[in-house]
A = this chain, B = another copy of it.
Amino acid sequence: MDLESVRDSLIRQEDTIVFSLIERAKFPINSWAYSPPQNGVDAFSASSFLHSFVRESEALHAKAGRYENPEENPFFPDDLPPSMVPTHDYKQVLHPAGSSINVNKTIWDIYLNKLLPLFAAEGDDGNYGLTAACDLACLQAISRRIHYGKFVAEVKFKESPEEYGPAIHDQDRAGLMKMLTFEAVEEMVKKRVEKKATVFGQEVNLSDNSKSKETYKVDPSVVSRLYEEWVMPLTKQVQVEYLLRRLD
């Protein structure tokens, strides 16, 4: 694992995020899925239908070994069943003190309260199960991308420990954040994900009718904003938290 492979993974994960948003946009907002439960929803007795759906999905995925992969971080890590599949020898790249950093509570809140209303149409078509499956895919893709910051931080630290060491010793959060911020790169990433939303979200016709390309399944500016306001800042926050523990 080096900066090149980390970069490739981050770029590939952009596609996954854009695909997942486009698929979620097939359904209206379907707010019922996010409200506290009412009568007749005994099977989903947690704080909302989506909460229960994600919790039960994660239990199944845990049995299937998903969280053995250090790139995966559950939203509800408590009481997950153990993996039932043959153990794979994942490379232990991360420093143990930082490997369990988990900002999924924040991601959940942002996804439901800020992002979703920006790209899901008003309305309720009753497809709560299908909608929740799409939400799960979005949440997992965004979570994986943000927590990949641990790998970014590890690789950067390994490449120049002398650069980060003093700020880590001083537990200098602001200093680390500054060292991890590259505005030109962030600007490029924003532009690239916006372009991906136009490419992947267009109506593809055999006739190269450019008019049909003017509407997109998810507003490309929303994807750019997702990265600017949430994905990149949270990734850096994960990196900073990871580095602060890197010498523990």
A44 engages B206 (CB within 8 Å): no
Q: Which of B57, B86, B199, B202 makes the CB contact (< 8 A) with A60?
A: B57
* Interface set of A (CB-CB < 8 Å, partner B): 12, 15-16, 19, 22-23, 26, 32, 40-44, 49, 53, 56-57, 60-61, 63-66, 68-69, 72, 81, 83-86, 88-90, 125-130, 132-133, 137, 188, 191-192, 195-196, 199-200, 202, 204-206, 217
Excluding A64-B132, A69-B130, A89-B126, 5 further A-B contacts by CB distance (< 8 Å) are: A32-B86, A53-B60, A69-B127, A199-B200, A200-B200
A63 to chain B, nearest CB (A): 5
Query: Given the complex, which residues of B lie within 8 Å of A133, measured CB to CB?
Result: 61, 64, 66
Q: Which of B53, B72, B84, B217 makes the CB contact (< 8 A) with A43?
A: B84
A228 to chain B, nearest CB (A): 16
Query: Given the complex, which residues of B lie within 8 Å of A26, measured CB to CB?
Result: 12, 16
A39 to chain B, nearest CB (A): 9
| Residue among A22, A85, A88 facing the most chain B CB atoms (10 A cut-off) | A85
The contact sample of 11 A-B pairs, CB cut-off 8 A, is A16-B23, A32-B85, A41-B86, A43-B81, A56-B60, A57-B60, A63-B129, A72-B130, A85-B128, A192-B204, A199-B199
* A193 (CB) vs chain B CBs: closest residue: B204
| Residue among A12, A66, A129, A199 facing the most chain B CB atoms (10 A cut-off) | A129
Query: Given the complex, which residues of B lie within 8 Å of A192, measured CB to CB?
Result: 204-206
Query: Given the complex, which residues of B lie within 8 Å of A12, measured CB to CB?
Result: 26
A159 to chain B, nearest CB (A): 25
Query: Given the complex, which residues of B lie within 8 Å of A68, measured CB to CB?
Result: 126
